[in-house]
Structure 1
């Protein structure tokens, strides 16, 4: 493999700034030309609209059964029975309460809710939406491996039954992929959310991969939206998104690249710890890192401080474990982990794999290569697009793999991530780990009821994983969001479920 180019953060910023001058005008031409907030035609207060530049265009026509569902929740147009608080605990939304009896959870529906087409929310609507998701092919990710049935138990209550007892049912129902939509959304083979949600904003127009338009819904069951509407444009180029904020063409910009954040007015940039960890997975099943002492040597060789400062320009958090500051309870419950003593590598050869889809990961891999070589390893890199490397990574063909991994999946609970990545039968076990103590801890965590007891079991499972040195946590990423100087109340959500809420407006 040819060596990766070395670029300092300052050099990257200069290159990108020069590139931006030549490309941004073309990328942004007419981006928000029809926006309502231009100096010659904008309103004030309730008449102002919010212009949002989003990173990724829809991949599935804004179907709530796909990852596009997170756009619907970020625009506050589609809602779920349950929502999650900052700690990941379940709170009422379209359901006002719930109770469990055996394998069945019964949810009581909120009164006075209407869909955007004017029809009232009923138990039949909830059954339709959840049953459609449960029988979809493929299922929404939140229901992967879950056998779920739904039935009306009264005019304003539904029963959700799982094949096996599941303490996470309320958390699962908080996933935007299980949004409750009006009957009109389910005509034909696709699910069309236009005019079919219950949130404070109604989706009135979706123009493919170009834009979306939402207006305030005045019959919303909760507090009236403070903005007149939302005008969304999809701007995949990060330099263009940052330029839209600088020029005032966008009020809110999601996913500002690390390389661009330093070029913006610091007052316009908000960084929020994200439940996503960059981890060096070490292959415990074959090769050099079958030896626990060499895994320990690799862990001791890693300098996370230089990764955060050199690659992420200080816009990330050094990892103290697999679970980062987006889950503040984890650090409070964590205790020191006992590791195997390290042994000298003495030229042991390893290959580290990673992918180019996340721009920072090849640079992370390059710095790790330097650190591990200094410790005495012989290190090669294998860097490809993710689609061309995933199969080899899952098959255990690398000695180590660098991955940016979400640590809470759609349920808001990290037990599922820990199980998939580190259980002997885990579906994403890059470390090829098969350890009875780890498996026992993971099984206990998965079966424990939600609350403090489950959190303690999750942290105990994390400790069991870390004790094997099958994974070396590197850093926790941050959401970098740009908000215009006149924006009030934009959500800064580490789970990226919220962005524009009923309280968000432009002064």
Structure 2
């Protein structure tokens, strides 16, 4: 996949926290019953199934969650986010934030996978690359504020922000740093790596598997983590397996060590006694294409699509009965803001009101029950990623039937994460998409719901909501969580206008066999331990 402007959280995170949405930072899960070092084994291979191919491997070219998760193995960030939200040292040993000036002091002795040193100037080159709109990096405006500039002096990087950024360190905790070799030869990153991470890619077979080998002498991981710990896998293999049932069977048979399962197979694995590292995420978000030429550009159509389906039932179907109603967009733990911005602000289920809204907008029912306006049928497309599991298909069937009852014809199509990303950020050939953002700070949501529309920007739905922008702009001037009230007001403006609708939260389990690990947004590579 060529780098498209997929500015994430990860999140779109098109994958849940590593499996079904756009990814950013955050998330917290671990195996609480991990054994002591005496129970670990060295020299083993850790194999994990992923639901779709990552596409091109450039770590700054896409935020498809499969790629984001794999990126953590070969690349590092300046800082990391701990389980409790604490900012930890990674490539940077220290930092300061004073107004619109941020400084990072880079650790001594950090080397790239090709043996060359990683320097402060390398950081500056990365920031300059992402900030250049010609490079169409999805990280611009999400993991690094637009308009930032950077300079290097010795081991210190000074970043000048164009405006206050309330969660700037959280953002830099998700910006992977590319080494000089990759910066000079960007094409080499499509199927290779050039990073400082704990592993290096040794084999890439697209749509089949990717193999990484551990790096000796790695000592600059999150909080000082190293690859010298007992039980660290010598090799990591990502296998591309689209079918959840197949992956569940492989885990039970012991041919793999980990897989995220969001559908009914999760019950089977839990009943078999397999442990899991879980994290909470928003997995149900309904987005509408506001761009000209789409029926969903009509506010009456968006309102009818929102009121015409029972979102509670949609939540139950999507999460196989295990989920909860959504409460906010930036919900990935450790979330910067906590509370409920959704309840009471999303238009409630009312099929009669949905029909009345369409009547008033001139969409009249035709002889087949499907509405027509100016000779054009109200016929739409719904895209949902295969990473939503079997629950995605069940929820899609429910929604299609509900919309047909109010006179809207919808064709639902399941796609891989990479395919869906290409459509929503590239061709624009969609009307409705279920695409969860896996983000933990509300400022990371902002580029997805305001600003330039795709393909020039990250605002893939082409949303233009002045009330959202006014509240978000006010929140951006506050210091961190002090702006949460305004961030919630901004989100509520989106929901009340039916510009987009979050409808389901769910625990996302990474089931394990023969290994333990932590999940903080995605799997933490240096936390993996193989059992003896």
Q: Same fold (TM over 0.5)?
A: yes
1:214 Cα deviation from its structure 2 partner: 1.4
Q: Is the 8 A contact 1:442 1:461 kept in 2?
A: yes
Map 1:359-438 to 2 at 5 A.
Answer: 360-361=391-392, 363-371=394-402, 377-384=406-413, 386=420, 390=424, 401-406=432-437, 408=439, 412-418=440-446, 420-421=448-449, 434-438=464-468
Report what 2:366 is aligned to: none
Q: In the comparison of the two structures, how many residue pairs are matched?
A: 445
Report what 1:80 is aligned to: 77
Given the two structures, how large is their TM-score scaled by the length of structure 1? 0.71
Q: Is the 8 A contact 1:87 1:329 kept in 2?
A: no
State the Cα deviation string for residues 343-395 of structure 1 (Å, max 9, x = none).
74358445553125436555434313444566xx2231133565897499969
State the Cα deviation string for residues 84-137 of structure 1 (Å, max 9, x = none).
345766443222333345644221223454445555543233334444444585
SS at the partner of 1:258? coil
Given the two structures, how large is their TM-score scaled by the length of structure 2? 0.68
Mapped partners of 1:439, 1:73: distance in 2: 32
State the Cα deviation string for residues 223-249 of structure 1 (Å, max 9, x = none).
433314123142233244323212111
Q: Is the 8 A contact 1:282 1:469 kept in 2?
A: no
Seen in structure 2, the aligned counterparts of structure 1 residues 213 and 437 have a Cα distance that, compared at 3 Å, is closer
Seen in structure 2, the aligned counterparts of structure 1 residues 300 and 232 have a Cα distance that, compared at 3 Å, is same
Mapped partners of 1:228, 1:387: distance in 2: 31
Tell me which structure has the larger Cα radius of gyration.
1
SS at the partner of 1:317? coil
Which structure has more RCO (C-alpha within 8 Å, separation ≥ 6)? Answer: 2
Q: Is the 8 A contact 2:453 2:462 kept in 1?
A: no
Q: What is the aligned-residue RMSD (CA, Å)?
A: 4.2
The answer to whether residue 261 in structure 2 is matched with residue 256 in structure 1 is yes
The answer to whether residue 212 in structure 2 is matched with residue 218 in structure 1 is no
The answer to whether residue 492 in structure 2 is matched with residue 487 in structure 1 is no
Unaligned runs of 5+ in 2: 1-38, 360-370, 372-377
1:73 Cα deviation from its structure 2 partner: 4.0
Q: Is the 8 A contact 2:59 2:67 kept in 1?
A: yes
Q: Is the 8 A contact 1:299 1:472 kept in 2?
A: yes
Unaligned runs of 5+ in 1: 1-42
Mapped partners of 2:255, 2:138: distance in 1: 35
Mapped partners of 1:134, 1:284: distance in 2: 26
Seen in structure 2, the aligned counterparts of structure 1 residues 478 and 149 have a Cα distance that, compared at 3 Å, is same
SS at the partner of 2:241? coil
Report what 2:199 is aligned to: 202
Mapped partners of 1:431, 1:189: distance in 2: 29
Q: Is the 8 A contact 1:124 1:152 kept in 2?
A: yes
SS at the partner of 2:105? strand
Q: Is the 8 A contact 1:206 1:213 kept in 2?
A: yes
Does 307-316 or 296-305 show the bigger shift?
Answer: 296-305
Mapped partners of 1:194, 1:340: distance in 2: 47
Seen in structure 2, the aligned counterparts of structure 1 residues 367 and 161 have a Cα distance that, compared at 3 Å, is same
Report what 1:95 is aligned to: 92
Q: Is the 8 A contact 2:314 2:395 kept in 1?
A: yes
Seen in structure 2, the aligned counterparts of structure 1 residues 69 and 170 have a Cα distance that, compared at 3 Å, is farther
